[in-house]
Structure 1
Amino acid sequence: MSDTRKRARKRFGGYAHKKQRGSRELEVGAQGVLITCNMNERKCTSEAFSLLNEYADALYGPEQPTDSPSEEEEADEDAEAALQKEVCQIRSSITARQQRFSAVSSGANNVLFIRTHGVDPEELVHHILADLHQTKKRKSRVILRMLPVSGTCRAFAEDMERFLSGHLQRWFQEPRRATYQICFRARNSSHSRREDVITAVAGLVAKMNPLNKVDLTNPELSIIIEIIKTICCVSVVTDYTLFRKYNLQEVAKEPTNQSTGPPEAANQTQESQSGEKAEGDRSKEAELE
């Protein structure tokens, strides 16, 4: 094992692992939206597709329908037509997998992953939260949080270091600079230690530009790291505190004067009451300290 890989594992607290994953599962290289719900995944999936399509149509225009075989191809039963029909069916199957939104297994209970194609998940989700925050319209009953995922990698030391070293440059590489926080959660995973990951990510950001500073009160950017089994989902978002940790239920609530504590503390209390505990997976969430 190379010294580089050893150092990466020490920093991120990870271990080597090899496993093949199916196309219907959350996998490396995916972009999309991670969605948590309260014990009703079927209803949550329906709500998620409806909400994502509504706002995607507004941002990007209606999705174009896929091609289907013509009536003549259906009627023609000779060998050449049958072969052509089979080719068309294969092409239609490939096209269907490349539709704008498709659900794949996340690997955790009460957590959905909607894979996106031709859509910027960070732009789309921020647009949804901004509209709900402004209008205070409740457009979901079972969706709790909706987090964009701009990239995924294997949740092991050398993989995370290699991926994040390039992925985070868009926001933090000199001459860019920003205040930030790191939010971490792990589900069905025990090989990635919270403190190790947070410390390692903060070190990478500092190397990109020493002027990048931690701000837990009102950061310009929030680095979201969600690990499910052996997959690490990453995004960098704005307005994370303003939009109540991207909680659709909380962001649509009318403001009240009953809370005397800071918004973040009030939000954490509300989330625990609204069903975050019902996700059913052992998970941890922390911010950089």
Structure 2
Amino acid sequence: MVRVKHNQSSRRNYQNKNNFHSNSSNHNVIQVGQYGFFVTYCSTKESFVRNEIYNLLNRFADQLFGEEFSDEKQLDTTDLNDLDSALENEKTKLNDSKKTKRRFQIVKSGTKHSLFVTTTIPLASINKLIESIFQTSIQSKEQHSRYVERLLPISFICKAYEDDLRKLIIKQEFLDQIFVLTNDMELTNNTIWFDVQAKKSNNTQVKSSHLEEIVINDLMSRKSEDLNGKILKRDYKKPQICILIHVIKSLILISIVKHYDMFKKYNLASINLTTTTAMTTTTTTAAAATTTEGEKKEEEEEGEGGGEQKQKKIIFDDDDDDNDDDDDNNEETND
């Protein structure tokens, strides 16, 4: 038998092709070390949801941090007259857009009806963006989304192992994120009340209760010297800070948020439902008040009309009596 020698160039091309697909697939999936936003939605058309997420985040980000591409270069009219120069300008523009990382980029989260949004916004500002969306929705009583349900800021991502979680929470970045959220709070006795909640999906290796205990024990064992003179205590009912642990397959997503109850567990659909119900109630009350006023006016008009009829009736009776008296007088004179 003759051994067939494989072409080395074809083998290299095959390996490069596999490496390209593996690298491109990794860029489209949530990874360790990222931060951004976890989004759940209620639609079967993911393209509609993606457009809504981009529009919602970009609109509020432009208001808070300025426009993303504010320094775009304007093309000269002389260059546009030439077809070749116009094509070259388009190519350079496309190449520049590929090199620059966009402010928001949607990737797969690993579960159904949910997406993850990576961002170039600083870590300390991601909560500010989401809080602005919820506060505006509550104050303006306007519906800003149709498909988005939960919209959570994700500060940290690590592998779904207890050791990795311990290594993460002892970092100073973890505490700094708590301090950023409590800077504008009025703390009694420099005490920060917190709570930890853990949930998991598509994972059977770890227990939610164990993850909660790890974070709680670590934070409560910290000395005030390590916390800038502050103390961390747990509160089940009304915590100032909520630390949410989301286990998705082989990853742990950590959210550090405030106003957890006021923002309906960061459920934008619930906020929209509340505002819609309030507007409906207000409209119904106003309509009922208008109807009541109209009925009162009608009753008053009917009352005035009845009085006039009575007066007219009395006048007619007097006239009849006068006529009767005249008839009697005429009869007497005739007699």
- TM-score, normalization by structure 1: 0.69
Q: Give aligned-pair identity as a percent.
A: 24
Alignment of 1:1-289 (within 5 A): 22-40=26-44, 41-64=46-69, 75=84, 92-95=97-100, 98-119=101-122, 120-166=125-171, 167-170=173-176, 171=178, 177-209=191-223, 211-252=231-272, 253-254=274-275
**Which protein, 1 or 2, shows the higher relative CO under an 8 Å CA cutoff with sep ≥ 6?**
1
In the TM superposition, residue 91 of structure 1 has moved relative to its aligned partner by 5.0
Q: Aligned letter for 1:127?
A: S
Q: Report the more deviating stretch, 52-61 or 227-236.
A: 227-236
Contact 1:172 1:212 in 2 (8 A): no
Write the deviation string for residues 18-53 of structure 1: whole angstroms up to 9, x where unpaired.
xx9711100011111100111433322221111111
**Paired residues of 2:246 and 2:253 also in contact (CA < 8 A):** yes
> Structure 1 residues 87, 133: closer, same or farther in 2, change over 3 A?
closer
- Two-structure CA RMSD over aligned residues (Å): 3.1
- Are the structure 2 counterparts of residues 59 and 65 from structure 1 closer, same or farther at C-alpha, using a change threshold of 3 Å? closer
Unaligned runs of 5+ in 2: 1-22, 181-188, 225-230, 279-335
Query: Cα deviations across residues 220-261 of structure 1 (Å, max 9, x unaligned)?
Result: 1000111211121112111001110001111231477xxxxx
Per-residue CA deviation, residues 111-144 of structure 1 (Å, 9 max, x unaligned), is 1111111252211111111111222211111111
User: Could you tell me how far apart the structure 2 residues matched to 1:52 and 1:30 are?
Assistant: 18
Does the C-alpha gap of structure 1 residues 155 and 131 become closer, same or farther in structure 2, counting only changes over 3 Å?
A: same
- Aligned-pair distance for 1:67? 6.8
- Which structure: larger Rg? 2
- 1:171-215 deviation line (CA, Å, top 9, x unaligned): 279x97410111222121122211100011101111224731111
Query: 2:38·2:154 contact (CA, 8 Å) conserved in 1?
Result: yes
3-state SS of the aligned residue for 1:139? coil
Given that residues 177 and 209 in structure 1 are in contact (C-alpha distance below 8 angstroms), is that contact kept between their aligned partners in structure 2?
A: no
Change beyond 3 A, Cα 1:248–1:86: closer
AA in 2 matched with 1:23: H
TM-superposed deviation, 1:100: 0.5
1:168 Cα offset (Å): 2.7
Q: CA deviation at 1:147?
A: 0.2
Whether the 8 Å CA contact 2:156–2:255 is kept in 1: the answer is yes
Q: Secondary structure at the match of 1:239?
A: coil
**In structure 2, what is the equivalent of residue 15 of structure 1?**
none
Contact 2:198 2:209 in 1 (8 A): no
CA distance in 2, matches of 1:155, 1:88: 41
Q: How many residue pairs align between the two structures?
A: 229
Question: Which stretches in structure 1 are left out of the alignment for 5+ residues?
Answer: 1-19, 77-81, 257-289
- CA contact under 8 A between 1:122 and 1:235: conserved in structure 2? no
* 3-state SS in 2 of match to 1:50: helix
What letter corresponds to residue 250 of structure 1 in structure 2?
A: S
**1: CA distance between counterparts of 2:223 and 2:137?**
34
One-letter identity of the residue aligned with 1:208? R
Question: Larger helix proportion, structure 1 or 2?
Answer: 2
Residues 172, 205 of structure 1: 8 Å contact kept: no
Alpha carbons 2:37, 2:116 under 8 Å: kept: yes
Q: Closer, same or farther in 2 for the Cα pair 1:67/1:180, shift >3 Å?
A: same
Residues 77-105 of structure 1 deviation map (CA, whole Å, 9 limit, x = unaligned): xxxxx9xx99986654231xx11111111
